[in-house]
Amino acid sequence: SQKIEQNSEALNIQEGKTATLTCNYTNYSPAYLQWYRQDPGRGPVFLLLIRENEKEKRKERLKVTFDTTLKQSLFHITASQPADSATYLCALGANSGYALNFGKGTSLLVTP
């Protein structure tokens, strides 16, 4: 069965450091992968999309890598701030086509 795995343990880091979150998947042949941010009690908000032929994508302090050989994506937040504290979800298009399947998310806490 298709699986998307994100580290279930919360990641605690100090302000100013780089946060790195991991997304591993099995039984997918994804054409793309997406990352979302979710704050408590709210719906997820899209951050970045990376295609299978792209190794790396950047947006301001965010960087995503996508290794289809390792079946893994890494999500980096550089110069992290307390406002970056949230749950981060990765998502893959289901092999059937239309739907997005989500990992369970990793909680990030950035302390001053």
Partner 1 sequence: DVKVTQSSRYLVKRTGEKVFLECVQDMDHENMFWYRQDPGLGLRLIYFSYDVKMKEKGDIPEGYSVSREKKERFSLILESASTNQTSMYLCASSLFGAGNMNTEAFFGQGTRLTVV
Figure out which of the listed residues 19, 91, 108, 110 binds partner 1, where binding follows CB under 8 A. 91
Figure out which of the listed residues 11, 13, 49, 109 binds partner 1, where binding follows CB under 8 A. 49
Whole-angstrom distance, CA of residue 31 vs CA of residue 104: 20
Contact (Cβ atoms closer than 8 angstroms) between residue 3 and residue 71:
no
Kindly state the smallest distance separating residue 98's Cβ from partner 1, in Å: 5
Q: Which is nearer to partner 1, 69 or 96 (CB)?
A: 96
For residue 81, give both structure tokens. Answer: 């701030």
- Residue 28 as a binder of partner 1 (CB under 8 A): the answer is no
Question: 87 to each of 25, 42, 83, 97, how far by Cα in Å?
Answer: 18, 11, 12, 26
Q: How far is CA 33 from the centre of its chain?
A: 9
- Residue 90 as a binder of partner 1 (CB under 8 A): the answer is no
Task: Name the residues that contact partner 1, by CB under 8 A.
Answer: 31-32, 34, 36, 41-46, 49, 51, 89, 91, 93, 96-105
